[in-house]
Structure 1
Amino acid sequence: MAENWDKPVTLALEGPGKFTTISNTTEASWAMIEDWPIEDSAVLTRALDTCAAVIEGKQSAETARQAFIDAAREAGIPIHE
């Protein structure tokens, strides 16, 4: 399910000053799988599991958004708010 989040998350995923906007759970999942600077983290694993649960219709999209933000903060990825 690629249900858009109420508020997209814009973060410097590809380096300083190169901001990317993530608008839904599917985009967040792919970003964490393909572009994340760390690979082994409990917070990252929890965020990926939350995204999977949202895609399966078991949790709300906003839960995935918050888990994604938590994983980005842990990874030291700047978020533009």
Structure 2
Amino acid sequence: MEQPWTKSVTLALEGPGKYVTISNTTEASWAMIEDWPLEDAPALDRALDICAQVVEGKRPAEDARKAFLAAAAEAEIPVQA
């Protein structure tokens, strides 16, 4: 079982007011692959690479969370504080 992030990320991924909560690297990866509004963007590509490294045990989970937040900012996806 994958370790949850220290703090979940809640964002409007499926449209305004439709918030979902992402709590680990696998969920973040699937969200970026399946539901992301951008197809090809630098922060998105970097976040996907970092998530893969976290899943492989090469980086800490917090790196994936930070990269996921950067990709959300790049895509202008609202994040709840």
User: 2:65 — aligned with what?
Assistant: 65
Q: More strand by proportion, 1 or 2?
A: 1
Measure the CA separation in 2 of the matches of 1:16 and 1:3.
Answer: 29
Mark the runs of 5 or more structure 2 residues left unpaired by the alignment.
Answer: none
TM-score (norm 1): 0.98
1:56 CA drift (Å): 0.2
Q: Which letter maps to 1:58?
A: K
Identity %: 68
Q: Which letter maps to 2:12?
A: A
Q: What SS does structure 1 have at the residue aligned with 2:44?
A: helix
User: 1:10 — aligned with what?
Assistant: 10
Q: Give the length in aligned residue pairs.
A: 81
Consecutive aligned runs of 4 or more in structure 1 exceeding 2 Å deviation: none
RMSD between aligned residues = 0.8
1:2 CA drift (Å): 2.4
